[in-house]
Amino acid sequence: MKKKIISVFLLLVFSTQVIPIAQIGRMLYQNLLTEELPHSTTSAPASNSFIEELHKAYCHDEQVANVRLYTLIITHHLHESEKISTQYVAEVQTPPPNC
């Protein structure tokens, strides 16, 4: 009886997670998410002042230098972590047992 109650509870929990998928499917089927673009040519395009300011502050050479530096640091640490220790445990000499 206990397993049946737990299975019904889990079935209800998992079925509530499927509800948004059904709603999204219904919205897509009814074409409610179509984007309408204005077709008038009388409106002027938006100013690109933000984009221009962004390009003034962006330095491509500095970005490339940072990427190269980070790549060098990461590869150095990866190679350091892959090194095999100089004293491998299997190579340690042990004296023979006393007979």
As given in the structure block, the two tokens for residue 28 are 């897509």
Please report where in the chains the tokens 């984009």 appear, as a residue.
51
> Do residues 33 and 27 touch, judged by C-beta distance below 8 A?
yes
Question: What does the pLDDT look like over 5-40, one tens digit per residue?
Answer: 999 999 988 887 777 777 778 877 777 666 666 665
pLDDT digits (tens, 9 = 90+) for 33-65: 666 666 655 555 556 777 777 777 777 888 888
Q: How far apart are the C-alpha atoms of 54 and 60, rounded to whole Å?
A: 12
Query: CA-to-CA distance for 25 and 17, rounded, in angstroms?
Result: 14
Give the residue extent of every domain in the chain: 1-31
For residue 2, the number of C-alpha atoms closer than 13 Å in the C-beta half-sphere is 0
Distance (Å, whole) CA 88 – CA 81: 15
The pLDDT score that the predictor gives to residue 9 is 94
